[in-house]
Amino acid sequence: MVETLKPASSLKGRDFLSNLDLSPAEYRAVLETAHAMKRGDFRGQRPLEGQTLAMIFEKPSLRTRTTFEVAMNQLGGHAVNLSNAEIGLGTREPVHDIAMNLERWVEGIMARVYLHSTLEELAQYSSKPVINGLSDLLHPVQLLADYQTIEETFPNTQGLRVAYIGDGNNMANAHLQTAVLSGAKLTVATPRGYEPNAVILMEAIKLGANITLTHDPKAAAEEAQVLYTDVWVSMGQEAEASQKRKLKDFAGFQVNPAMLDLIDKNGIFLHCLPAHYGEEVVEEATLHRKSRVFDQAENRLHAQKALLYHLLS
């Protein structure tokens, strides 16, 4: 058996609602473990033997559900899937009651929800770790996988030129926070009126992040070493009027092979998926030689497995 990294004792039993719930050293420990897990260093080990993760889903999920469930299984534990139709967060039963029930049965709770306040309430009333699997404000587990993927091409992210192009949504907000931890030089390009959360932006800058906002996607992409995009219309925002308005407002922000030609010759392209082909990206971009989109999807498993290891071991 290969000797492995020990879990960071400071992380055991902690909530993970945002990337800034990690210190730089803890962030580094999680990513080093993720890289080790992908190499197979933990193969055959079952550090979460007998433990159960409750997984709450208000939103549909492919990557989040599959990777958390497989991660728990590979670590020797078990995951229980709870759809909103079954538990009715805040409707059939108050969020705090759900938290106080689940804490009696499981070792951790992962929730993919609409409102970030739902996660905060779960964390407030549960004595067991609560993990943000996605909220309207942040998607922190995705950023762990993203930076694992980035480090596979660029091991040193200090000063790395990262460009996020698109909507100032939960993904953009999570990028702002992770710029604090990674040391990357982040440029966020959005149409006017679609900028990321101002409070999160100011907090990240105050903590030392190197962040630039622009409304020029081509300028952001120029010589970027990492180009990143996400859907323009998130789940829950699919109203026809909203889609039509965004398609107009986001003209020129689509990632296509021509935009990929603007980035560094060794640069990479990332998209957290699912992709809305013909809107924020074309399929040729996800299949482009610079694309690491499906490596990124694979790394959801390794990064979340590493996070679970540190929080629950």
What residues act catalytically? 112, 139, 142, 230, 272, 300
Neighbours of 205 (CB within 10 A): 14
CB 64 within 8 A of CB 53: no
**What residue type is 161 in one-letter code?**
R
Q: For tokens 């909507």, what's the residue?
A: 167
CB 55 within 8 A of CB 68: yes
CA-closest candidate to residue 180, choices 149, 150, 154, 207: 207
CB 264 within 8 A of CB 161: yes
Residue 2 φ/ψ region, left for φ over 0, alpha for ψ in the -120 to 50 degree band, beta for the rest: beta
State the Cα–Cα distance between residues 93 and 86, nearest whole angstrom. Answer: 10
DSSP conformational letter for 18? S
